[in-house]
Amino acid sequence: MRTPEIEESLVVAPDSAAPTVLTFDDNRLASALFGQYGQNLALIERRLGVAATSRGNQVTLEGSRAAREQARRVLEGLYARLKRGDELVQGDVDGTIRLALAQGSLFDFDPASARESFEEIDLRKRRVRARTPAQDAYVRALKRHPLVFSTGPAGTGKTWLAVAHALQLFERKEVDRIILSRPAVEAGERLGFLPGDVREKVDPYLRPIFDALFDLMDARIVERALQTGEIEIAPLAFMRGRTLANAAVILDEAQNTTTMQMKMMLTRLGENSRMVVTGDPSQVDLPPGQTSGLVQAVRLLDGIEGIAHVMFTAADVIRHELVARIVEAYDRAAAARRERPE
């Protein structure tokens, strides 16, 4: 559906090469849409193969008819967000571009069945949106299954979205607490010699989760919840013998669990609890010859009702553009080693 506040002139020449001109009614929002120094337009140009030229509150799109149509949908969708008062960061631009690419070109795009955006997680502090088709499937799986495995390279949002989902359940009082766990492989799971309390001992290993917590929830609420135990930091080594009821549980970096550790953790799941297990099977730090509990669990539990597995690839990396290229380069090298004859 087109935003009514956007005036558009689209004249299609016989060769389909005529430019598309979009005019936005709010100069301030148009400036935010184009990005500082036009960086959002530059990203649209690189990803969709169009030339985008801005002047004031207007942008002219040149390129193939299909590419111009996709760029128009991206710009209109982003402008509609700005009109609603949402902030716009480069990741949102990238996500909207991915949505347009997933929906197809001008020739197979169906406006009646198209979705305006990927799945969202609404939190009190902010709204978190999926930015890739895999993230979209991940959020839908989190909402529908009590146990979800997510595997794939760094930077794909596995942990970030798991924390957002857990916080949403907590804010809506669907669970009483959030439990965060991660194997401390480097310390051999023997953390007693480290100074401080349990939280201080495992803080270095759970820092990515802490970063997500403080970004997605007010810092004072996070600190209070940590003090009351409503948000609990539980090293994997300390989980044995517990039953986790009415809880949202996140096991991060699960590729570094052993088979027995993974079985132990999965069987902690109690009544009215949800669990998310994340990890990158290509970055296992276990001793040579030891099987990753994550890899085995994904294989053994495939197809069981109530369990979902979402796989991410380098195409889903949403950090700096170079990260996706770096991941792809390492993947190619690994594939070459596997194919090389002994």
* pLDDT above 70: residue 122: yes
What is the residue type of 38?
G
Residues 17-48: tens digit of each pLDDT: 688 999 999 889 999 999 888 889 998 998 88
Tokens 């760094």, located at residue: 154
Q: Among 187, 177, 175, 182, which Cα is nearest to 158's?
A: 182
* pLDDT above 60: residue 5: no
What is the chain's length? 342
Share of the chain above pLDDT 90, in %: 39
Residues 6+ apart with CB under 8 A from 142: 148, 161, 162, 165, 274, 276
Task: Give the CA radius of gyration of the chain.
Answer: 23
E strand or H helix at 220: helix 219-228
Residues 217-250: tens digit of each pLDDT: 999 999 999 999 999 987 787 788 888 899 999 9
Start and end residues for every CATH 3.30.1370.10 domain found in the chain: 6-117
pLDDT band at 202 (very low <50, low <70, confident <90, very high): low
What is the residue type of 311?
M
E strand or H helix at 104: none
Alpha carbon 23 to its chain's center: 32
Q: Among 68, 89, 135, which Cα is nearest to 316's?
A: 135
CATH for 132-339 (3.40.50.620, 3.90.730.10, 3.40.50.1100, 3.40.50.300): 3.40.50.300
Q: Report the chain's mean pLDDT, rounded to a whole number.
A: 82
Residues 247-275: tens digit of each pLDDT: 999 999 999 999 999 999 999 998 999 99
The larger pLDDT score, comparing residue 8 to residue 152, is at 152
| Predicted local distance difference test score (pLDDT) of residue 204 | 63
Start and end residues for every CATH 3.40.50.300 domain found in the chain: 132-339
Q: Among 66, 58, 70, which Cα is nearest to 34's?
A: 58
What is the residue type of 242?
R
Strands (DSSP E) found in 224-293: 231-233, 247-251, 274-279
Classify domain 6-117 at the CATH superfamily level.
Answer: K Homology domain, type 1 (3.30.1370.10)
Q: Among 158, 37, 167, 140, which Cα is nearest to 90's?
A: 37
